[in-house]
């Protein structure tokens, strides 16, 4: 059952990353390129083409996409966490509250898994660009699934700890 949940969450991360985070990632590359004086040729959904400089600036541009996307994802995580805390305090129907809190937990897992993936992609693009290109998309999808599984496992452990603490309060 946990494997199926991890698989479904992983696909949520992949669609979330491709649909919402990819342009933010590319915006990070484009912003760094402009700030470093590199001329941009074209910006597309999944890539930024710029004039090759063959110097350190290309590494900075490589790092910048994933770092910018990770920063946005961390901010989104904080906002979702705050929303979850507000929902837990509100007086609403129990069934609706459970569903809303559950949705925020799923969103937190998706966002944190994608943030870890973006950070890893940043290192690959900035330091090992040839390896990043050689890997292709399949290993990146596998990486996202691993991070999602780790995120889900951490949540399960935290949930188990909080349940144990509430059953055995320390006096």
pTM beyond cutoff 0.85 = no
55 within domain boundaries: yes
Residue-by-residue DSSP string for 33-88: HHHTTPPEEEEETTEEEE----SHHHHHHHHHHHHHHHHHHHHHHHHHHHHHHHHH
The pLDDT value given to residue 73: 96
pLDDT at 168: 61
Residues spanned by the domain of 23: 2-160
For the chain, residues with pLDDT lower than 70 are: 1, 137-139, 160-171
Contact status, residue 48 vs residue 62, Cβ threshold 8 Å: no
Q: Are 66 and 76 in contact (CB under 8 A)?
A: no
Tens digit of each residue's pLDDT (9 = 90 or more) over 136-153: 766 677 777 777 877 777
Does a structural domain hold residue 166? no
Does 112 fall in a domain? yes
How many domains in the chain? Answer: 1
Residue 169 lies in a domain: no
pLDDT of the residue at 145: 75
Residues facing 43 on adjacent strands: 48
Domain annotation covers residue 90: yes
Closest CA to 9 of 99, 114, 121: 114
168 in a structural domain: no
Is residue 54 included in any domain, yes or no?
A: yes
Q: Confirm whether 62 is domain-assigned.
A: yes
């Amino acid at each position: 059952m946990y494997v199926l949940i991890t698989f479904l969450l992983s696909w949520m991360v992949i669609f979330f990353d491709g649909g919402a985070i990819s342009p933010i990632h590319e915006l990070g590359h484009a912003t760094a390129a402009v700030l470093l004086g590199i001329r941009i040729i074209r910006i597309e959904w999944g890539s930024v083409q710029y004039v090759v400089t063959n110097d350190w600036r290309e590494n900075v541009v490589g790092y910048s996409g994933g770092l910018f996307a990770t920063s946005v994802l961390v901010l989104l995580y904080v906002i979702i966490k705050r929303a979850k805390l507000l929902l837990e305090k509100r007086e609403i129907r129990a069934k609706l509250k459970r569903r809303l809190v559950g949705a925020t937990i799923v969103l937190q897992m998706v966002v944190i898994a994608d943030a870890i993936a973006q950070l890893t992609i940043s290192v690959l693009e900035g330091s090992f660009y040839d390896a990043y290109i050689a890997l292709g998309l399949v290993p990146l999808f596998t990486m996202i699934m691993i991070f999602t599984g780790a995120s889900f496992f951490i949540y399960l452990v935290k949930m188990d700890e909080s349940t144990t603490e509430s059953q055995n309060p320390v006096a």
